[in-house]
Amino acid sequence: MAAKIELGKKVPNFKIPSSSGETLSLSSLKGKKVVLYFYPKDSTPGCTIEGIEFNDLLAQFKKQNAVVFGVSRDSLKSHDKFICKYDFKFELLSDEDEELCQLFDVIKEKNMYGKKVMGIERSTFVIDEDQKLVGEFRKIKAQGHAAEMLKFIKDL
């Protein structure tokens, strides 16, 4: 997958392992709005806040015909622990090979304790019912982000 996604353009179909035990494909979500939020790591403070906030607003996202997926490079086993610990009611997608991260261009150089590392930049993408990219949010703050995304979807 060399092509990068662009606002207003159709997002190429992708398939990715999901915490549901199934392989999720974008094409199976046609007719729904899709919120894909990329986060650095399971069970870390910011990622936990973000996940809890999305979970708390899930019913409201459903009312807007929207589904929410968290995406990180963590394994499905790690995702399962994260889901169980916080009782998440939405699926987490495991992008260990970084295919989805590359498509959405979220792998960035970060500074961790003085060391330069490549990691996921907290980012969210909103895909409409026709699978066009209608929202792109980068370098976001975890706290309050889910509510901002809900407002964005309501305003579409």
Catalytic residue among 34, 47, 92, 101: 47
Strands 115-120 and 23-25, sheet pairing: unpaired
Strands 123-127 and 133-138, sheet pairing: antiparallel
Helices (H), 1-156: 45-56, 58-63, 76-86, 99-103, 145-155
d(CA 27, CA 14): 8
d(CA 156, CA 154): 6
Is-catalytic flag, 84? no
Residue 79 makes CB contacts below 8 A (sequence gap 6+) with: 19, 42, 72, 92, 94
Active site residues: 47
